[in-house]
């Protein structure tokens, strides 16, 4: 149900070339005028005024119409370009100095920039889209049919494709991972959210309370089972972080047991430590915690 994740996922189903994405960006900048430029010290220090104006023009246009593959891909590309570290070479991001994987909170960012007398660089948005687009879009993706749904899986899902599913592959947030909505607040703003960090208990499975987490995840398995055919296979990647030392196998087993469907665990396999590759526990935390080994749980739906 996270709009940033939805925007990125939708781009993976689009088939626009980098040339079409650049053309879409050029058209927007040539024709659109922004009516919603955020104000305040954070925004003055985060972006050059001209760059911020261009960002807002593209944002407004995509919020108004993001139906074409080119615009869907442009939106995802913009999410990657929105903030990141400064470089001595050609810029790779639009912002003043900031981490790439998460957005610093406004007060902390302003303190950091003021202490170091850092000012935002003028980065022409179209130039950056033109130079970075081929890096992300040059290889292209296979034209695969699919659909991305904005939905909280704890709520009733229905049958969005007209028939039940046979396979489900997923990875829930780990216990203690409740930072993602706040850490991605700037990208969330770009896709229509508020111009400040916000957080709601609905943004996470109340992940500091293991018992509540198990019950909430059990609701998910109930909803998932309701749209699956008998005999459907479920694969769950799960793990833990050091600040919340739990047994991942026990948590998934308890959550499946608490659901209203008859899920049976077939196997539990070692997926290695989360530090291997770009695993979830590294991506979802502003300051990544050392993680324990992850597991893949394979289950079958006996009755629903």
Whole-angstrom distance, CA of residue 7 vs CA of residue 256: 29
Q: The pTM is what?
A: 0.81
SS3 assignment for 30-74? HHCCCCCCCCCHHHHHHCCHHHHHHHHHHHHHHHHCCCCHHHHHH
What are 38-75's pLDDT values in tens digits?
Answer: 999 999 999 999 999 999 999 999 999 999 999 999 99
Q: Among candidates 35, 23, 281, 300, which has minimal Cα distance to 177?
A: 281
pLDDT of 292? 67
CB 2 within 8 A of CB 202: no
For residue 290, what pLDDT band results from cuts at 50, 70 and 90? low
Range in 59-68, 144-153, 237-246, 256-265 the model is least confident about: 144-153
Residue with tokens 């229509």: 192
Check whether 116 has a pLDDT greater than 90. yes
Sorted by sequence, the CB contacts under 8 Å of residue 197 that are 6+ apart come out as: 103, 105, 106, 182, 185
For residue 284, what pLDDT band results from cuts at 50, 70 and 90? very low
Whole-angstrom distance, CA of residue 297 vs CA of residue 248: 10
198 versus 159: the higher-pLDDT residue is 198
Q: Taking the domains of the chain in order of start, what are their residue ranges? A: 3-137, 165-303
pLDDT of 283? 39
Residue with tokens 């939708």: 10
Helices (H), 122-183: 125-137, 180-183
For residue 182, what pLDDT band results from cuts at 50, 70 and 90? confident
Q: Which two tokens stand for residue 256?
A: 């499946």
Q: Among candidates 114, 87, 88, 119, which has minimal Cα distance to 100?
A: 87
Count Cα neighbours of 84 within 13 Å in the Cβ-side half-sphere: 14
Distance of alpha carbon 206 from its chain centroid, rounded?
A: 18
Q: Among candidates 304, 290, 293, which has minimal Cα distance to 237?
A: 293
Sorted by sequence, the CB contacts under 8 Å of residue 288 that are 6+ apart come out as: 281, 282
Residue 170 in 3-state DSSP? strand
Q: Mean pLDDT across the chain, nearest whole number?
A: 88
Q: Among candidates 192, 4, 149, which has minimal Cα distance to 80?
A: 4
Backbone angles phi, psi at 137, to 5 degrees: -115, -5
């Amino acid at each position: 149900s996270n709009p940033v994740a939805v925007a990125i996922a939708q781009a993976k189903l689009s088939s626009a070339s980098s040339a079409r994405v650049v053309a879409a960006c050029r058209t927007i900048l040539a024709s659109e005028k922004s009516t919603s430029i955020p104000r305040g010290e954070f925004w003055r220090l985060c972006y050059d005024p001209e760059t911020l104006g261009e960002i807002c023009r593209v944002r407004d246009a995509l919020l108004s119409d993001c139906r074409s593959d080119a615009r869907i891909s442009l939106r995802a590309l913009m999410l990657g370009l929105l903030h990141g570290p400064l470089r001595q070479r050609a810029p790779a991001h639009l912002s003043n100095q900031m981490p790439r994987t998460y957005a610093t909170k406004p007060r902390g960012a302003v303190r950091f920039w003021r202490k170091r007398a850092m000012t935002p660089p003028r980065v022409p948005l179209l130039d950056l889209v033109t130079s970075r687009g081929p890096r992300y879009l040059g290889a292209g993706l296979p034209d695969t049919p699919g659909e991305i749904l904005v939905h909280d899986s704890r709520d009733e899902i229905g049958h969005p494709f007209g028939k039940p599913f046979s396979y489900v592959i997923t990875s829930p947030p780990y216990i203690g991972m409740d930072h993602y909505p706040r850490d991605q607040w700037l990208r969330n703003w770009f896709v229509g959210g508020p111009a400040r960090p916000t957080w709601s208990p609905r943004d996470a499975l109340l992940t500091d309370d293991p018992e509540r987490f198990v019950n909430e995840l059990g609701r998910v398995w109930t909803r998932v089972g309701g749209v699956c055919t008998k005999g459907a296979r479920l694969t769950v990647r799960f793990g833990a972080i050091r600040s919340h030392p739990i047994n991942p196998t026990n948590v998934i087993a308890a959550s499946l047991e608490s659901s209203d469907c008859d899920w049976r665990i077939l196997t539990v396999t070692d997926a290695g430590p989360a530090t291997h590759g770009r695993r979830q526990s590294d991506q979802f935390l502003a300051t990544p915690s050392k993680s324990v080994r992850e597991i893949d749980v394979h289950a079958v739906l006996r009755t629903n």
